[in-house]
Structure 1
Amino acid sequence: MAPKLGIIAGGGDLPGLVAAACRAQGRPFHILALSGHADPRVIGDEAPQDWVRLGEAGTGFERLRRAGVAEVVMIGPVRRPSILELAPDFRTARFFARVGLKALGDDGLLRAVAAELEGEGFKVVGVDEVLSGCLAIPGPYGNLSPDEQAGADIARGVQVARGLGALDVGQAVVVQQGIVLGIEAVEGTDNLLRRCAPLAREGLGGVLVKMRKPGQDRRIDLPTIGLATLREASAAGLRGIAVEAGGALVLDRDSMAAEADRLGLFVVGVESPQC
């Protein structure tokens, strides 16, 4: 039997999908849900769980040990708080004093958190090791594929996304007819799409491109799209979404393909030289 998995849960549907996969595999698990970030409806009442604030690292480590967790996966978006919002306990304050919060981007901070977990004796694993069926595959999902203009926009988006990622800024960019309408920063992909909607030009719609950052640790923060992303892209007037094949997650690929066809959008996995 696989070791007991600790699911450090941020927002979105991924924590619930990982818990469901553990149940299907007969794998023991325990959820450490982050208050103010994890969705109680996703976590549910039946799953073994503890809730902690983001600043309660000491309590979190103790709860994971008490639950007998050996491996840990970190999933779901977490809005980075200010120090005042964080209200760190002694263990968390010591961590930030050592790594320097202001000096780190999201990827750097997550790497430091992963190293801290491993220093406490937990093995950090990637969500794709648990949800292997969600790893993006090359080619289209559904019946629609990018045309020549969309292909050019995707190529431009890959180029820009890689530049963003190298600076540890974000993983997503919206491009229309060669023009960059928006790049993802702290607001997340859904808010990026909402921000880009009123910026759309006349003519052929744009594309959303999501790529893994160059050199990114595959165990943490892989780019992810789900049905909500697809619907936000449609509402923003986009023609489709491109994600990195082998470097991003596509949640519920069959439903994604069917919804993409219904909305008249393409979803495609593209290869990237950064892999």
Structure 2
Amino acid sequence: MPGPATTHEAAPVTDKIGIVAGGGTVPGQLVATLRDRSHPYFIIGLEGQVQPETLDGTPHLVVRLGAVGTALDALRREGVRRLVFAGSVRRPSLAELRPDWTATRLIAKMGPKMFLAGDDALLSAVVKVLEGEGFTVERADRLLDGLLAGAGYLGRHRADAAAEADIARGVAILRALGPLDVGQGVVVQQGLCLGIEAIEGTDALLARVGPLRRDGGGGVLVKLRKPGQNERIDLPTIGVATVEAAAKAGLAGIAVDAGGAWIVDRAAVIETANRLGLFVKGISGDAV
């Protein structure tokens, strides 16, 4: 196996924030916030996943997921020690990853079983390894105001008694599955589980359950944290596309984990839910 590539001398450590940017709009919103605050940042854009517009006019480097050494060298040259993970990331197979020497070394630290584990076990291992490399991993919602869901309703629509019962059923299902590190979302209608979110993601789940919807009352999408979830990298997330997909599937509304889920572009989510007739509610997974 070849040795590591020669690294460049690291810059002095600064308060600059490194953004590891996946898909979706959260990375762009984070960039806009940091610009408004005149806070220095540097983006590591994940190849094939980050939106090109996120990188326009920004200091950045695009890397494939397996090019860990290249990414860490760039962050050190920029004097970055604070990292924020933002945006969706499609989990690759080991063959797709094509790990470089540094990635191979880190995979060895995590152990091969990490690739057979659920997303949260893998992400927790990633955080542990990065901390061992001298980086601090922070939550995106600590920097981006309004991202974290609160308790109660957004918008003007409300859940009826049937929807509340479906929310409680969804919470029970996710509580049971959570310890297995499987899924953050479930769709329930009339007490029946129409679908559980797995590796396909929320939008694909909603597309899948649309034809399964039964005659009668609407149904709900419930998204909750898993027990022990590493909240610095991955929290349940909804946005405008989620509301639109839920409406297309014929659902009555969406319930998300208050204090444990992200709402991307809150104002647009409220406007879309109002227009399409869906409720959006922040709930406590422990209180339902």
Structure 1 segment 125-274 matched on structure 2, within 5 A: 125-273=138-286
Structure 1 segment 17-96 matched on structure 2, within 5 A: 17-41=29-53, 43-96=54-107
Kindly state the Cα deviation for residue 95 of structure 1 after the two structures are TM-superposed.
2.0
Kindly state the Cα deviation for residue 45 of structure 1 after the two structures are TM-superposed.
1.8
Partners of 1:159 and 1:257 lie apart in 2 by 26
Q: Is residue 15–residue 40 contact of structure 2 (8 Å, CA) maintained in 1?
A: yes
Q: How large is the Cα RMSD of the aligned pairs?
A: 1.3
- Render the CA deviation track for 1:193-235: whole Å, top value 9, x for unaligned: 1111111111111110010111112212011111011101111
- Render the CA deviation track for 1:45-93: whole Å, top value 9, x for unaligned: 2011101100011111001111221210112121111111111111112
TM-score by length of 2: 0.91
Q: Which runs of 5+ in 2 are unaligned?
A: 1-13
Partners of 2:146 and 2:103 lie apart in 1 by 35
Q: Secondary structure at the match of 2:230?
A: coil
Aligned-pair identity in percent equals 53
1:102 pairs with one of 88, 91, 115: 115
Residues matched between the structures, number? 272
Matched, 1:14 2:26: yes
Q: Secondary structure at the match of 2:146?
A: helix
TM-score by length of 1: 0.95
Q: Secondary structure at the match of 1:7?
A: strand
- Render the CA deviation track for 1:10-40: whole Å, top value 9, x for unaligned: 1111111111111122211111001011111
The letter for the 2-side match of 1:8 is V
- Render the CA deviation track for 1:87-123: whole Å, top value 9, x for unaligned: 1111112222332233321001111111111111111
Aligned partner of 2:3 in structure 1 is none
Aligned partner of 2:9 in structure 1 is none
Q: Which runs of 5+ in 1 are unaligned?
A: none
Partners of 1:132 and 1:76 lie apart in 2 by 16
Partners of 2:230 and 2:65 lie apart in 1 by 21
Kindly state the Cα deviation for residue 44 of structure 1 after the two structures are TM-superposed.
3.1
Q: Is residue 115–residue 122 contact of structure 2 (8 Å, CA) maintained in 1?
A: no
Q: Secondary structure at the match of 1:181?
A: strand
Partners of 2:212 and 2:231 lie apart in 1 by 33
Partners of 2:147 and 2:87 lie apart in 1 by 14
